[in-house]
Each structure stands twice: as C-alpha cells, then as structure tokens.
Chains A and B, each alone.
Chain A
C-alpha cells in the first residue's frame, strides 16, 4: 500500500478530466505531496503514464486496477509532485 497525502476522486469523469483535475490539485500543493487518484476512465492508465513521461515536474509512483463495491473496475494512480 502506497502512502498518500490527498485523495482525489475522479470517478465518472472521462478524458481529459482525470488529468485536468489532478493537475489542478497538484497546482495547490507543495512539492513532495503524493495524490491518490481514483478513476473509472480506463484510458487514464495510459494517460497518466504518458503524462509522467512527458512532464518532469511529476512522478508516477504506482498504478493499480481494483474493484469497487459493485465489482466495477477502478483505476488507481499515485502521483507525486516533484
């Protein structure tokens, strides 16, 4: 289990909102802060990877696919502000 400082729920939102919301959250916090992002958008998995590869101000610590209480897949991303 990865430690995090802020939990960001972007369930139900689709491209590009998981990125946008995470970025807006990152703008508010100090460097070193880890945000746990929970999304239902399947594309967000590759989106976060692409983002972390391009933007040197963030680090993608880990990603995971989990199941919510209804058995629906949710995608979890841990993003750190460098």
Chain B
C-alpha cells in the first residue's frame, strides 16, 4: 500500500493525527537516506572488487614474467590493474642506460645493473646470463610470449605502470631510461590503490 493510500485511509478513520503523519514522513525520509547510503557503499565495494594491484620488487626475468602474466590475465578478466615497480623491479621497465648526469656511485650501480628489460637475469641458475638465454630459447620453442610482448600487451590492455619515485631517486634512474607511459608515485599512491583492490601481490 502506498503512503498516499495509508494517509487517505487514516484521514477517513480519523485515527491518525496530523502529527503522526509528519512523523511518518520523517521516518520515510530517513529510510531513504539510509538506502542511498547503502547504495553508495555497495557501489564502492563492487568498485573495489574490480581492482588488482601488483608490486614488482624483483628484477629477475622469471619473476617479472610471472607478474606480467598475472597482470594481463587479470586485465582480460576486466579488472583494473596497476603495477608498481620498485627497487630491482625498475630494471624491468628500463629501455636503455644513460649514465650522464649521475654521481660516480650511481654510474657504477647503473653499469652493474641490466641496461634494459631485455637483459634481465633469472633468479636461479643464471650463470652470467646463460641461464636467462636458455630460458628465453625454451620459451620461444613453446611459443610463450617474451617479456617484451607481454609488456606491450599489458599497455594495450590499459594496465597502468607506476615507478617508485624514491627508488628512482636513490638509484639515480632518469626518466629517459624508462619506457614511455610510466607514471611516478610514492608509497601513498601505492596504498591508495592497494587498499581499494580485491587483490594485491608482491613479487
């Protein structure tokens, strides 16, 4: 029965006074407010379930590959994926080495690290790069996508790449060494994504 109908009936019965009608109005208004609140909260929860955050701390080829496979898979599921690259992980979004304008220890660090994501070592059995080469060949045989392919696919799927500003600063990594379209952010930026994600993984 609608509110109008209830009111009309009450008028006829003369059992409900004007005062109680006003009270009922208020109650309905309050319920409406509560309902809107719940609707907002629900959409927030649904929104959270739609996000995935990944931290790539490692600069090892095998681990970075795993992160990219999960990222592209999640994006295919329709998830909004953000990948944060920090410390050694920054090596996996590097495209070249530029030692100009760096302090001597930053230069040394730069030279001791892979110059781009094509030169990442593997976490086990690297043997000065022979292991990484072997893995790449084995992947090619099985027609598994290379890291380069996966990164390109990730970009196409709209996955966001964020480099840790502090790591960049400490290691002296300059923007022209990183691939295009990489954002910069700090811990708060990461947390604001991770806390609103259904899943956060650290690789």
**A and B associate in one complex:** yes
Binds B, one of A15-23, A29-37, A60-68, A69-77: A15-23
- Assembled-state Cα–Cα distance A16/B145 (Å): 9
Given known A51-B77, A55-B78, contact A14–B72 (CB-CB < 8 A): no
The reply to whether B77 and A54 contact each other, CB–CB distance below 8 Å, is yes
Q: Interface size on A (CB < 8 Å)?
A: 16
- Evaluate contact between A51 and B142: CB separation under 8 angstroms: no
Q: Which residues of B contact A (CB under 8 A)?
A: 69, 72-73, 75-78, 142-145, 153, 156-157
Per the bound structure, the CA–CA distance linking A24 and B75 in Å amounts to 10
- Residue contacts A-B, CB under 8 angstroms, 22 given: A12-B143, A13-B145, A14-B145, A15-B69, A16-B72, A16-B73, A19-B72, A19-B73, A19-B76, A20-B72, A20-B76, A22-B76, A23-B75, A23-B76, A23-B157, A24-B156, A24-B157, A51-B76, A54-B77, A55-B77, A55-B78, A57-B78
Query: Which residues of B have CB within 8 Å of A20?
Result: 72-73, 75-76, 153, 157
Q: A20-B73, A55-B78 are in contact. List 14 more A-B contacts (CB 8 A).
A: A13-B143, A13-B145, A14-B142, A15-B69, A15-B73, A16-B73, A20-B157, A23-B77, A23-B78, A24-B156, A24-B157, A47-B73, A51-B77, A55-B77
In the complex, what distance in Å separates the CA atom of A20 from the CA atom of B75?
8
Does B76 contact A14, Cβ atoms closer than 8 Å?
Answer: no
Residues of B within 8 A of A19 (CB): 72-73, 76-77
Contact of B144 among A14, A24, A47 (CB under 8 A): A14
A13 to B72, alpha carbons, bound, how many Å? Answer: 14
Bound-state Cα–Cα, A4 to B77, Å: 21
Question: Closest CB of chain B to A41's CB: distance in Å?
Answer: 9
In the complex, residue of chain B having the shortest beta-carbon distance to the beta carbon of A51: B77
Query: How far is it, in angstroms, between the C-alpha of A19 and the C-alpha of B69 when the chains are bound?
Result: 11
